Structure 1
Amino acid sequence: MKHTISKLTIKNFRSCINAEFKFSAYTPLVGYNNAGKSNILSALQWLLKKSTLSEKDFNDQKLPVEVIAEVTGLAAELLDKMPSNQKTALEKFIVNETLIIRRLQDSPTTKATDIKLTVWDEAISDWSKNPTGLDNAISSILPDPIRIGAMENAAEDASKARANTTIGKLLAEFLNPVKSAHKEELDKHLSEVQQRISADGDCRFSELSSIDDSVNKKIDDLFPGMSIKLHFDIPSFDDLIKAGTIKVYEGKNVARDFSSYGHGAQRSIQIALIQYLAEIKRVNASNITTTTLLLIDEPELYLHPFAIEQVREALLALSKSGYQVIISTHSAQMVTSEQSQFTLLIRKDECNGTYARKRLSDAIQNIVPDSIHQMEQLFSLSHSTQVLFAEYVILAEGKTERRLLPFLFKKITGRTMGQEKYALIAQTGVNDTKKSMEILQAMSIPSKAIADLDYGLTGAIKHGFIDANDIDVIEIKNIFKLLSDQGKITLNGNGVPKNGIVDASKAYELISNESSAIPHIKALHVKMKEKGIWLWESGAIEAHIGITNKDEKSWAKFKKDIASNGLQQTCSDYKSIIDLIEWLRN
C-alpha cells in the first residue's frame, strides 16, 4: 500500500511562476545554486502545513499563490482503514485512486482563516470549497511534512526540539514504542508529583501551604473573602516528548551544546536520526497507512563520501516504508542509476522562472517505443549519472575518447570538462547515438557525439543523418572497392570494410591516406558536424593522437610523452584535436 504526491503544480510562488513537477517515492532535485530547488520543497511544505505567506513569497503580488497536488494510489484498501468520517470526507472526490488538492492564498494580506485546502470535484468540474472534515482527512493520509534545511538552523533546531521542528517530529516518529511501554508508569509518577504541587493536590508540600497562608492573610486585609493557592501544571507524556532535546557527549561524558560542534557533526547527528528512523520503519512497514513527506535540502552536506552513500540508502529505505522522500542535491552519489530516471533537472530562466526538464524516464518512453530497447537505453544513459549534473553532454563510444578526452580538454583549454559543465557519457554502442541524442534533446540537454569514420558509412545512413546515395559516400565506397581489388582490404556485401586481409579499423585508416578519398572524407566530416556528430577523418582517435593500442599502458605512455614533449609534438595530428575541442565548446 503506497500513496504519493505524483504531480505538483506551483503558481506564483517565489521563483515558480507556473511549473509542473512529477514525483516518485524517492525524487532527487538536481540543479545549480539559485535554480529554485528549495522553493519547490517549501511549496510542498506549505500545501500540507498551512501558514500565511508574506510579500516575498509572491512572484507577482497582483496574483494569487496556488499549489496543486495529485495524490495517487488511494486504493479502497487504504480508505477502509480510515475512520468512517474521514473516509466519507474523501472517497467521493477520489477518481481512479487519485485525489487532487489545492491550497491558495489570494494576496499577502489574506487572513490565515481564509487560506484553506480545497479539493477537485469531478462531478461539478470545479474546486469544492471547504468540504466537511477535509483537512483532518488529508492529514490522516498526508501528515505534516518533515523538513530538514541545509543546516542554516540546525543548531537551534536540534537544541530546542518542539512539535514543529525537525528533531521534534523525528522524536515523535520513533518514540511511540517508549510511549506504549511506559506511559502508564510515567503517568503514575506525574500524578504523584501533581498531588504535591498542584492547587488541589491531596498531599501538597507543607511549604507551599505555608506560603499560601501567609499571602492570604495579606489578601484578606485588602479583599476579604478571597484567597489564592500556588499551582504548578504538570506536563503530560506528550508534552515531555515535545520538549525533548539533544545533548551531545564526547570524551568523559561531558555534555556539550549541539551548537558548539561543527556543521559536519551537526549534520551527522541529524542524519543518524534519519537512519534510525529508516530502520524502525522498515520493521513496521506493513502497518503503515500514511505517507509522510520527508523534504531535505542537500542531505550530503558536510558528509564524508562513504557517509553520503549510507544516507542515500537510508532515505531509499524510508521511501519504501511510509515516506515520500524529496531531496535537493549537488551530489551524484545521492542518485544511483536506478533513481536517475526519476530525477528532476531543475532550471530557472527569466521567462519561465523555476521549471523542470523532462525526466529521463519520460523522454525514453517518448523516443524509444519498444520496451526492451527502452530498458537498454535507460541502462546506458542512467549509469552515467553525471548527465543529470551537466549543461552539455558529449557522447562517446570509444574507450580511448573516454579515457583521454578529459585530459586533452584540460591541456588545451586549461579548464576541466566539469568546470565548463560538460558530461562525457559512455555509449554501449555507436548505434545508440541517434536515440541518445533524441532523448537528451527531449530533456532539453544539448549534446554532441564523437564517432569513428565507419559510422558515417553505416549507422549514419541507417539513422537518417546521411543519404545512402550521398555523392561522398558513393565515392568513398568506390575507393574502398579499388583497395579491395588490389587485395589490400576485405569488403562486406554493403561495400564497406570487414575483418579479413586487415582489420576493418585498419582499412579505414588506409583510405584516409588515399589522396583521392581525402576530399570526400572531409566533406562527410563537415556534413556530420552539422548533425552534431564528429567523425574521425583518419578512422579513429588513435590515428590522430599517434597510439596503436587501446589499453592502459598505451594511454599512460601517451600522457607521459605529453608531459615530456608537449601535446603538439606528441600528437600525430595535433590540429584535429584542437579542432575537436573548439567544436565541442561552440
Structure 2
Amino acid sequence: MPTCKPAYMAKLNSISIEGFRSIRDEVTIRFPNNKPVVLIGENNCGKSNVIRALDILFGEYHPKYKDVEHFDHHGRDSKTPIVISGSVSNFSGVLGRPPQRINAFKFKCIKGSEIEYVALLEDGTPHGYISNDVRGELTSIIVNSEHNLSYQLSYTSKHTLLSKVMKVLHKSLISDEQRVAALKKLYVEIQNTFDEVPEFKQFKGSMSTISGEILANMSYMLQMDFSAYDPSNYFKSLRVNPIEGTDARSFEELGTGQQQLLALAFAHAYCKSFINGDIVLILDEPESHLHPLAQKWLSKMIIKMAADGLQIVITTHSANFIDLFNIDSLFLLRKNGQATTVINHSAESLYKHCIATGANADKTKVETVVPFYANHSTTHILNGFFAKKVVLVEGLTEELALPIYLERRGLDVTREGIEIIGVHGKGNLAKWWRLFTLYGIPTFVCFDNDEKHDKQGIQRTDSLKAIGITDDELAAIIGTKDWAISDGYCVFGVDFETTMKKSFDDYNAVEVSQKELLGTASKHIVAREVARYLKMDEEKGWTNIDIIKTKLLSLEPFKPAVTAAASATTAPIKSTATSDMLEQLKAKFGI
C-alpha cells in the first residue's frame, strides 16, 4: 500500500520583500521549524503587505500573470522595482540541464517591463519556465473573514483545502483496481436509484437528446450525461457539511468565528494525515469574531498545529497570540516614516541586551532567558507590543490613576497609543523595560522610593541603571522623598499616594468624600477617582504632571546595542558601570 505522505515535503524557509507597498527596503521573514510566524504591530504598519507578498509568490494565481497596480510600488513610484523572493527546500521536482533542485522563487516587477518570475536552482541559475505542477508543491492559503469556510471546503479551484485533500485521496484510491471496480458498481446502483425519480429520468433524457443534436458535429461525438461521481476524481462526489447535534447545517448558518475555526481544523487534519509542509496557512487576524477565551484556546491550537508541521503565518492585534517561548518567530512591524521595518529577535539577542543593560551576569543565561520571560509574561503586559509608547508603573494604583492625571492636562494616552502597564512591583520594572526596548518601543519607567520591599535599593538601582543612569546620579534619585522626573523615568518620592497628598492641597478632602461616595477603601479605585476631582489650580502636583506629559510626548526609542536576532551564543557582556555599582552595594549592605 502506498503511503499518503510524500517522500519530499516542500517548505518555505524565508521570504524577502522589497519595494512593495509600504515596504521600501528589503525585509526578511524567516520561518523557524515547527513554530507559527506571528506578525504584530499597530494598524497600517505593513502586516497585510507581508501576507499579500506571500500570496503573490505562492498563492492561487500564477505570479507571471499578476496584474500589478501603480500603488503596489512603494511610494506609488512605478520606477521602484518590486522584488519578492522565497527561499524553499525539499521540492521534489528538478529543473534545468543538468537537472537541479529548486532553492528559491523570485518575482520582480518594474512598471512597463515584463514581470520576471523565476526559480533559482542550486547553483543560483534562474529558470524561467515554472509549471503549475511545480508551483503546486508549495502553496499559500489565506483564511480570514473574506476567505470563508464555504470557499475553502468547496471545489471552486484546485487550490482550495478540499480540492487538495481529495486529490491525495483519489491517487490512493485508484492505485487499487479492484477497489475502483467495486466503487463503480456501487455508483451504478446509485444512478439507477436516481433514475427511479420520473422527473429526473425525463429531464435526463431530454438533456441527452438536445445536447446530442447540438454537439453532433463535434469531435468524438461529445454528449452530455449525468453521473453520480467524477471519474477524474471519485472523491469529488463527497461534500463536507457542519453538523449541529444530529442535523446537517449549511456553512452560511455558522458564525464567521466558527467558520474560521473549522477551516483551521480541516487544514490541521490535512497536515497530520498527508503532509508535513507543502502549504503555508495564512491566518489574517484570527482573533476576529472570537471572544477572549476562544482566542486563548485557538492560540494553543495554532502552536500545536505548527508543532505538527503545518507552516502557519498569523497577523494579529491580540496579545493572546504572543508566546515568548517562540520569540524567534515573533516579528514586530513598525512604520519608520513611510517605510515598514521588521524587528525580530532570538534568545541570544535578548540575552545580550539584558547583559548589556545591567542584568545579573551570574543569574542570566542564554538558555534560560526566554523561559524566564515567557513564564512571567501575561497578556496584559504583552499588550505593550501593540503600543507606540509604553509606561511601566509598579502597580494598579498608578496604572489606573496616572492616565486620569495626564488626560486632565491634555494628554489622552489612549489616543496617543501610550500603554500604561502595572508590572506588580518595582522588581519587575527593569525586566519588562529590557524586553520592550529590545524591540525599539519607547519605554518610560515610574516607581517610588518606598523601601518596604527594596530596603537595599537593588531593584531601583537595576531599573535606573538599565535606562542609563550613572553612578553619580543614583544616590540622589534613590534617596529622594519628592518627585524626580527625567527623560526616561519618574520617581514618586516615598510612594505614589504620599507624594500626591503633598502635591495637591485638596487631596485629603477629595479622598475622604470619594471613599464615602464609593463605599470602598480600595486604594487603587479611590486613587483613580480622586484624580478625576482634584482642583485644577496651578499647584506643584499639576506642574509635575505637565513635566511627565512633556517627557512622554518627546520620548524616543532606546537604541539597544543588539539590533538583530543573534545567530550564535556569545560570551557574557559586562556592563562596567553596573558592575561597579553592584560592588558598592555588596560592600555597603554585605550582599
Alpha-carbon distance between aligned partners in 2 of 1:584 and 1:291, rounded to the nearest angstrom? 47
Q: Could you say what secondary structure the match of 1:371 adopts?
A: coil
Match of 1:355 in 2: 341
TM-score of the superposition, structure 2-length normalised? Answer: 0.65
Query: 2:12: which partner in 1?
Result: 5
Question: CA-to-partner distance for each residue in 1:443-488, whole Å, 9 max, x for gaps?
Answer: 2211111132457984477558444445x94xx59xxxxxxxxxxx
The question of whether the paired residues in 2 share the 8 Å contact of 1:430 and 1:455 is answered with no
Show the counterpart of 1:54.
67
Answer with 295-304 or 396-405: which moved more: 396-405
Identity %: 17
Query: Is the contact made by 1:9 and 1:21 (CA closer than 8 Å) also made in structure 2?
Result: yes
Matches within 5 A, 1:258-273: 258-259=251-252, 261=253, 265-273=255-263
For the residue of structure 2 that corresponds to 1:445, the secondary structure is coil
1:278: which partner in 2? 268
Q: Secondary structure at the match of 2:497?
A: helix
Equivalent residue for 1:388, pick from 385, 397, 406: 385
Q: Gaps (5+ residues) in structure 1?
A: 94-98, 122-126, 198-203, 478-495, 497-507, 513-520
2:558 aligned residue? none
Q: CA deviation at 1:30?
A: 1.5
Aligned equivalents of 2:207 and 2:369: distance in 1?
83
Q: Is 1:329 aligned to 2:331, yes or no?
A: no
Alignment of 1:29-178 (within 5 A): 29-49=39-59, 50-51=62-63, 52-56=65-69, 57-59=72-74, 60-71=77-88, 100-107=103-110, 115-119=117-121, 121=123, 127-130=124-127, 140=137, 143-148=138-143, 150-154=144-148, 157=151, 161-164=155-158, 166=160, 168-169=162-163, 172=166
Whether the 8 Å contact between 1:298 and 1:328 is mirrored in structure 2 is: yes
**CA shift in 2, pair 1:91/1:45, >3 Å:** farther
Secondary structure of 1:115's counterpart equals: strand
Which aligned pairs between 1:60-459 and structure 2 lie closer than 5 A? 60-71=77-88, 100-107=103-110, 115-119=117-121, 121=123, 127-130=124-127, 140=137, 143-148=138-143, 150-154=144-148, 157=151, 161-164=155-158, 166=160, 168-169=162-163, 172=166, 185-190=182-187, 230-232=223-225, 236=230, 239=233, 241=235, 258-259=251-252, 261=253, 265-278=255-268, 281=271, 284=273, 288-339=275-326, 342-352=329-339, 354-359=340-345, 361=347, 363-368=349-354, 370-371=365-366, 374-375=369-370, 378-379=373-374, 382-383=377-378, 384-398=381-395, 400-402=397-399, 404-406=401-403, 408-409=405-406, 415=412, 417-427=413-423, 430=426, 436-437=432-433, 439-453=435-449, 458-459=461-462
What is the Cα deviation at residue 433 of structure 1?
5.2
C-alpha change, 1:174 and 1:28, in structure 2 (3 Å) is farther
The answer to whether the Cα contact below 8 Å between 2:106 and 2:118 also exists between their aligned partners in 1 is yes
Inter-CA distance 128–396: structure 2 relative to 1 (3 Å threshold): same
Matched position secondary structure for 1:16: coil
> Does the CA-based 8 Å contact 1:393-1:424 persist in structure 2?
yes
Q: CA deviation at 1:327?
A: 0.9
**Inter-CA distance 441–558: structure 2 relative to 1 (3 Å threshold):** closer
Task: Please give the per-residue CA displacement for 1:357-400, whole angstroms capped at 9, x wherever unaligned.
Answer: 34475651441354167337634885421122111111233554
- Structure 1: how far apart are the matches of 2:529 and 2:427? 35
Q: Post-superposition shift, 1:299? A: 1.4
In the alignment, the residues of structure 2 paired with residue 227 and residue 456 of structure 1 have an alpha-carbon distance, to the nearest angstrom, of 87
Say if 1:307 and 1:87 are closer, same or farther in 2 by CA, change over 3 A. Answer: farther
Provide, for residues 290-327 of structure 1, a one-character-per-residue CA deviation record: whole Å limited to 9, x for no partner. Answer: 34210121112122223223322222221112211101
Secondary structure in 1 matching 2:53: helix
Please tell me whether Structure 1 or Structure 2 has the larger radius of gyration of its CA atoms: 1
Give, in angstroms, the shift of residue 541 of structure 1: 1.4
What letter matches 1:54 in structure 2?
D
Moved more, 441-450 or 271-280: 271-280
Displacement after TM superposition at 1:213 (Å):
12
Q: Is the 8 A contact 1:441 1:447 kept in 2?
A: yes
CA 455–28 in structure 1, closer or farther in 2 if over 3 Å, else same: same
Q: How big is each residue's C-alpha offset from its partner over 1:146-189, in whole Å with a ceiling of 9 and x where there is no partner?
A: 221x3235387268542345453575499779969986643444
C-alpha separation in 2, matches of 1:320 and 1:574: 53
The Cα offsets for residues 219-250 of structure 1, whole Å up to 9 and x where unpaired, read as 9xxx9xx9957343855366465586666778
Point out the more displaced range, 301-310 or 173-182: 173-182
Question: Counterpart of 2:565?
Answer: none
2:559 is equivalent to residue 584 of structure 1:
no
Partners of 1:29 and 1:90 in 2: CA distance = 39
Distance 2:521 2:349 in 1: 36
Q: CA deviation at 1:268?
A: 1.1
**Shift in alpha-carbon separation, 1:3–1:132, aligned structure 2, 3 A:** closer
Matching residue's letter, 2:67 = S
2:452 counterpart residue number: none
Amino acid at match of 1:53: K
CA distance in 2, matches of 1:440, 1:268: 34
CA distance in 2, matches of 1:210, 1:66: 52
Q: Residue 420 of structure 1 aligns to which amino acid in structure 2?
A: E
- 8 Å Cα contact 2:40-2:317 kept in structure 1: yes
In structure 2, what is the Cα distance between the partners aligned to 1:154 and 1:323? Answer: 19
Farther-moved stretch of structure 1 (99-108 vs 382-391)? 99-108
CA distance in 2, matches of 1:365, 1:561: 38
Q: Note the aligned Cα RMSD (angstroms).
A: 5.2
Task: Tell me, yes or no, if structure 1 residue 541 matches structure 2 residue 496.
Answer: yes
The 1:459–1:230 alpha-carbon spacing in structure 2 relative to 1, beyond 3 Å, is closer
Q: Indicate the SS of the match to 2:288.
A: coil
Tell me if structure 1 keeps the 8 A contact 2:117–2:128: no
Distance 1:171 1:420, change over 3 A: farther
How many residues align? The count is 488
SS at match of 1:375: helix
Given that 1:450 and 1:535 are in contact with CA atoms closer than 8 Å, whether structure 2 keeps it comes out as: yes
Rounded to whole Å, the distance in 2 between the matches of 1:32 and 1:268 is 26
Give the equivalent residue in structure 1 for 2:198: none
Q: Provide the C-alpha distance between the structure 2 equivalents of 1:567 and 1:161, rounded to a whole number of angstroms.
A: 63
Cα separation, partners in 2 of 1:16 and 1:255, compared to 1, 3 Å = same
Supply the distance in 2 between the matched residues of 1:65 and 1:403 (Cα, whole angstroms). 47
> What 5-or-longer segments of structure 2 have no aligned partner?
1-7, 195-200, 356-364, 450-456, 502-506, 509-518, 555-591
Q: Is the 8 A contact 1:433 1:449 kept in 2?
A: yes
Is contact 1:116-1:130 (8 Å) kept? yes
Contact 2:401 2:531 in 1 (8 A): no
TM-score by length of 1: 0.65
Displacement, 1:104? 2.0
TM superposition shift of 1:539: 2.1
